[in-house]
Amino acid sequence: MAVTLQLVNYVKVTGNYCYRRALHQNVARFHSSRRNLVAQIIDGRAIAQTIKDEVKAQVEKIVSSAGRRPHLCVILVGDDPASAVYVKNKIESANYTGISSDNIKLPNNSTQKEVVDIIKALNTNADVDGILVQLPIAGHMDERTICNTVVPHKDVDGFHVLNAGRFMVDQKAFMPATPAGVMEIIRRVGIKTRGQNAVVCGRSKNVGLPIAMLLHADGNHDSNAGGDATTTICHRNTPHDQLRRLTETADLIVSATGVRNLITGDMVKEGVAVIDVGITRIVDPKSGKARLVGDVDFESVAEKASFITPVPGGVGPVTVAMLLQNTLKAYKREIDFYV
């Protein structure tokens, strides 16, 4: 019995593997110690590098034909250490692609009016293509007001209500960088979505919700490239046994909750593709050093998955690359907001 089971697994997963191997290179292989299964570990850094090189080539073309260099402004309020790391990554990556940038740092006690006035000045500054206000923003400010102050055609985060609304009705829009990154990974690696069961964990307005919208949407519609999956959204009020029932039949799981070890190997079926968007900072009990973990128990899930993204080195770097792609789109005024 055990032998038969193993053989079935081997044939099934090896078959998938051969088919997929031709499609992509940005993966490593995770060899199960217990079974003949091979999970492909998606290399987000390599995918991000490819995207950044594509952006860089386009920027070089613009500059060599005497064009103005695309310019990104990042506004950072306060001194949250995680935000400082993300902003540093964004600025460094922008530099790499040839996109020039400003990092506007404001003290934590800045007023909402001060931030709004800075955004308004950037909105009308013809030398600025993209504007981004790093979130979370200090508690005494209204995040919606701040996001809606950025003029839609410079809103490279896709957080303005016009971009969010246009996207929901299949009009061209700036897509938020993390959801765009998740879809880009799925496309570049060749993970099937059409007709598949997709489970999204997390319903945040900037990450979980737009990911679910993209996964379920009509992929034949040309605007924002949906995934045609049957998509279920789980969130903090989904009982864990119900979550398990859904993940057990999922072909694709995208988790974006910040709950460590939410998804474990016993909850998933063999051959599942898993995209881990969670970020939790922990102190490693062995080394005593701080490190990042995702929502997914990597070791146990990789035993069964066909594809899996690691944390760090998965979705995070691709998010940064998508922001730069959006900045280039803003520069080219690719999105017409008057239709």
Ligand X SMILES: Nc1nc(=O)c2c([nH]1)NC[C@@H]1CN(c3ccc(C(=O)N[C@@H](CCC(=O)O)C(=O)O)cc3)C=[N+]21
The residues annotated with a catalytic role in the active site are 90, 134, 157
Beta-carbon contacts of 115 under 8 Å, excluding residues fewer than 6 positions away, are 75, 77, 106, 133, 137, 141, 146
Shortest distance, CB of residue 26 to ligand X, whole angstroms?
14
Residue 65's CB is within 10 A of a number of other CB atoms, namely: 7
Query: What is the footprint of ligand X within residues 282-301 (CB under 6 A)?
Result: 292
How many of the chain's residues bind ligand X (CB under 6 A)? Answer: 18
- Interacting span for ligand X (CB under 6 A) from 111-119, 233-241, 249-257, 317-325: 317-325
- Interacting span for ligand X (CB under 6 A) from 83-91, 94-102, 197-205, 260-268: 83-91
**Total count of residues recorded for the chain:** 339
- Nearest residue relative to ligand X (C-beta): 316
* DSSP strands (E only) in the chain: 27-31, 38-42, 71-77, 100-106, 130-133, 197-201, 230-234, 252-255, 273-276, 280-283, 290-293, 307-308
In whole angstroms, give the CA distance from residue 40 to residue 42: 6
- Interacting span for ligand X (CB under 6 A) from 28-36, 107-115, 242-250, 309-317: 309-317
Nearest residue (CB) to ligand X, 13 versus 324: 324
> Is 278 a residue that touches ligand X (CB under 6 A)?
no
Which of these, 327, 332, 329, lies nearest to 72 by C-alpha position? 327
> Is 258 a residue that touches ligand X (CB under 6 A)?
no
Do 289 and 23 form a contact (C-beta atoms < 8 A)?
no
Shortest distance, CB of residue 111 to ligand X, whole angstroms?
19
Q: Mask: binding to ligand X, 107-146, rule CB under 6 A, as x and -?
A: -------------------------xxxx-----------
Which of these, 226, 181, 223, 215, lies nearest to 50 by C-alpha position? 181
Which of these, 327, 29, 39, 309, lies nearest to 184 by C-alpha position? 309
Shortest distance, CB of residue 41 to ligand X, whole angstroms?
13
Nearest residue (CB) to ligand X, 197 versus 280: 280
Shortest distance, CB of residue 239 to ligand X, whole angstroms?
28
> Is 316 a residue that touches ligand X (CB under 6 A)?
yes
Backbone φ, ψ for residue 183 (5° rounding): -65, -35
Residue 312, preceding peptide bond in cis (omega within 30° of 0): yes
Tokens of 296: 């997914």
The residues that touch ligand X, with contacts defined as CB under 6 A, are 85-86, 89, 132-135, 157, 177, 279, 292, 311-313, 316-317, 319-320
